C-alpha cells in the first residue's frame, strides 16, 4: 500500500516509493494523512524524497502551510499544558499529563506531531474535583473516568479521575490498583520553551497506552497516530533498561488480560512501520493483527472516518447502551471476556451516575 510506504519513508525505514506517485495519488496521500492526523510526520517523508518523487508544487505549498499551523498549535498546547498542570498543583492536586504533549517528546521533532486535547490525571477525591469544576461550569457531564474542564477557549481539556479502564470488573480492579501505585513515581519532562510537567513513567506508559488503544477499539476507533505514538514509545525497549522493562510490564499485561491484544498490536506495528523485533513487547500474532489493521484503516483517527459508527453525542443513554453492546459484538471472536462484561459495565455506570446525581 502506497500510504504505508510513505509512512516508512517518513520514519526512515524505507528510502523511496516503489513507484513514483501520480498527481492523483499524491492528493489521495495528502487526504489520508489528514484523516489519520499524520500530516506533520509525513512532511518529514516529503523532505526525504528525491525531487523526481515529490508531489505537485501547489500540494507541496498546501502541505507546508498545514505544517506551520501544526507547529503553532503545538506551541499553544505546550503552553496550556504547563498552565493547567500548575493550576491544579496550586489547588493541591498532584497531576500527570496523559499522552498528548508528553507523547510528542518521543518524536524526532515534537512540533510535527498533530496535537489533540489535554488529558490531565488528578490525584484526589472525584467528588471534590467534580464539584469544583461544576462550580465554574454547571451541568457538565461527569463519568467515572473523566469530565471536561473548558477553561481555555481553543484547547479542549479533560480531567481524568482514572487513566483508563476495563469492562471486566475483576481485571479493572487490578488495573486501577496498578495505576495508583504508578502515580507515586511519575516522570518529569520539559515541554519546549514552557516548563516542566509530570507524565507516566516508562513502565506505566507501556501498559496505559496499550490499554488506551485497546479501549478505543471497543469505542470510537483507532487511528494511526495512536499506533505511531506506541511505536515511538516502544523505542525505550531498545535502551539498556529495555529487558528490565519487559520483565516488569509483561506480567502486568498478562494479569490484565491484554496479552492477545498486545500481540496483535505488535504485528501491526511490524507490518506498517517495520518495527524491529527487539522493539516489540511480545511475539506478534498475525491473525489478531490482520483484524486489528482492518479496523484501524476503516476507522481513521478516533473513528471519524468509520461509516459504521453513529453520532455518539446525539444518542440517548439507552441507545448508547444498546448500540454500544451491539458494536462490541464484532469483537466477540477476538476478546470475548471484555465483550461479555460490556453491558454490565454500562448498566453499573448508569446506576453510579444516577446515585451520585451526575445524570
Cell 480531567 -> residue: 159
For the cut 70, the answer to whether the pLDDT of residue 336 exceeds it is yes
**CA-CA distance, 133 to 127, in Å (whole number)?**
10
Q: What pLDDT score does 304 carry?
A: 45
Q: 3-state DSSP call for residue 194?
A: coil
Q: What is the mean pLDDT of residues 308-327?
A: 64
Least confident interval from 9-23, 294-308, 343-357:
294-308
Query: How confident is residue 299, by pLDDT bands cut at 50, 70 and 90?
Result: low
Q: What is the mean pLDDT of residues 59-88?
A: 96
Q: Which helix (H) or strand (E) holds 231?
A: helix 224-233
Strand 118-123 with 94-98, pairing: antiparallel
Determine what percent of the chain is predicted with pLDDT higher than 70.
Answer: 93
Report pLDDT digits (tens) over 12-42. 999 999 999 999 999 999 999 998 999 999 9
Report pLDDT digits (tens) over 88-110. 999 999 999 999 999 999 999 99
Q: What pLDDT score does 220 carry?
A: 77
Instruction: Render 64-104 in DSSP notation, one character per residue.
Output: HHHHHHHHHHHHHHHHHHHHHHHHHHHTT-EEEEESHHHHH
For the cut 90, the answer to whether the pLDDT of residue 6 exceeds it is yes
Q: What pLDDT score does 303 carry?
A: 46
Query: How confident is residue 293, by pLDDT bands cut at 50, 70 and 90?
Result: very high
Are 256 and 209 contacting, i.e. CB atoms less than 8 angstroms apart? no
- 157-166, 292-301, 334-343, 346-355: range with highest mean pLDDT: 157-166
For the cut 90, the answer to whether the pLDDT of residue 281 exceeds it is yes
Q: What residues have CB less than 8 Å from 84, skipping those under 6 apart?
A: 118, 120, 149, 151, 152, 157
For the cut 70, the answer to whether the pLDDT of residue 276 exceeds it is yes
Q: 3-state DSSP call for residue 190?
A: strand
Cell 478516533 -> residue: 302
Are 269 and 224 contacting, i.e. CB atoms less than 8 angstroms apart? no
CA dist 22 → 27, 28, 29, 110 (Å): 9, 10, 10, 30
Question: So where are the chain's domains?
Answer: 1-55, 317-359
Report pLDDT digits (tens) over 241-267. 889 999 999 999 999 999 999 999 999
Report pLDDT digits (tens) over 127-168. 999 999 999 999 899 999 999 999 998 899 999 999 999 999
Are 204 and 179 contacting, i.e. CB atoms less than 8 angstroms apart? yes
Are 160 and 120 contacting, i.e. CB atoms less than 8 angstroms apart? yes
Q: What pLDDT score does 223 carry?
A: 87
For the cut 80, the answer to whether the pLDDT of residue 59 exceeds it is yes
Q: H helices within 256-302, ranges in order? A: 259-273, 286-299
**CA-CA distance, 34 to 126, in Å (whole number)?**
36
Q: What pLDDT score does 327 carry?
A: 80
Task: With CA atoms as reference, report the closest residue to 231 among 212, 206, 249, 251.
Answer: 206
Going across the sheet that includes 157-160, the strands are 94-98, 118-123, 157-160, 146-148
* pLDDT, averaged across the chain: 91
Amino acid at each position: 500500500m502506497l500510504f504505508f510506504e510513505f509512512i516508512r519513508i517518513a520514519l526512515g525505514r524505507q528510502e523511496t516509493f516503489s513507484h513514483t506517485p501520480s498527481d492523483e495519488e499524491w492528493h489521495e496521500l495528502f487526504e489520508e494523512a489528514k484523516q489519520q492526523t499524520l500530516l506533520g510526520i509525513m512532511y518529514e517523508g516529503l523532505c526525504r524524497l528525491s525531487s523526481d518523487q515529490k508531489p505537485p508544487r501547489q500540494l507541496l505549498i498546501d502541505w507546508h502551510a498545514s505544517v506551520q499551523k501544526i507547529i503553532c498549535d503545538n506551541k499553544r498546547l505546550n503552553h496550556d499544558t504547563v498552565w493547567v498542570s500548575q493550576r491544579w498543583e496550586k489547588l493541591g492536586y498532584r497531576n500527570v499529563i496523559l499522552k498528548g504533549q508528553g507523547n510528542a517528546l518521543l518524536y524526532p521533532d515534537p512540533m510535527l506531531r498533530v496535537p489533540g486535547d489535554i488529558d490531565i490525571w488528578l490525584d484526589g477525591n472525584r467528588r471534590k474535583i467534580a464539584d469544583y469544576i461544576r462550580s465554574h461550569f454547571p451541568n457538565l457531564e461527569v463519568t467515572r473516568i473523566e469530565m471536561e474542564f473548558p477553561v481555555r477557549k481553543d484547547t479542549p481539556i479533560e480531567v481524568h479521575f482514572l487513566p483508563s479502564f476495563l469492562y471486566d470488573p475483576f481485571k479493572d480492579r487490578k488495573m486501577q490498583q496498578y495505576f495508583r501505585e504508578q502515580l507515586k513515581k511519575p516522570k518529569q519532562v520539559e515541554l519546549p520553551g514552557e516548563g516542566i510537567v509530570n507524565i507516566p513513567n516508562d513502565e506505566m506508559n507501556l501498559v496505559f497506552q496499550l490499554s488506551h488503544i485497546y479501549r478505543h477499539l471497543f469505542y470510537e476507533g483507532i487511528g494511526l497516530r495512536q499506533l505511531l505514538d506506541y511505536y515511538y514509545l516502544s523505542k525505550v525497549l531498545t535502551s539498556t533498561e529495555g529487558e528490565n522493562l519487559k520483565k516488569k510490564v509483561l506480567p502486568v499485561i498478562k494479569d490484565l488480560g491484554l496479552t492477545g491484544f498486545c500481540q496483535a498490536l505488535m504485528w501491526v506495528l511490524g507490518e506498517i512501520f517495520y518495527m524491529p523485533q527487539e522493539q516489540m513487547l511480545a511475539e506478534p500474532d498475525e491473525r489478531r493483527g490482520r483484524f486489528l489493521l482492518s479496523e484501524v484503516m476503516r476507522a481513521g483517527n478516533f473513528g471519524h472516518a468509520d461509516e459504521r459508527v453513529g453520532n455518539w453525542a446525539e444518542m440517548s443513554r439507552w441507545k448508547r447502551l444498546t448500540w454500544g453492546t451491539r458494536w462490541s459484538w464484532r469483537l466477540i471472536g477476538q476478546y470475548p471476556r471484555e465483550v461479555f462484561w460490556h453491558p454490565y459495565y454500562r448498566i453499573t455506570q448508569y446506576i453510579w451516575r444516577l446515585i451520585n446525581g451526575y445524570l
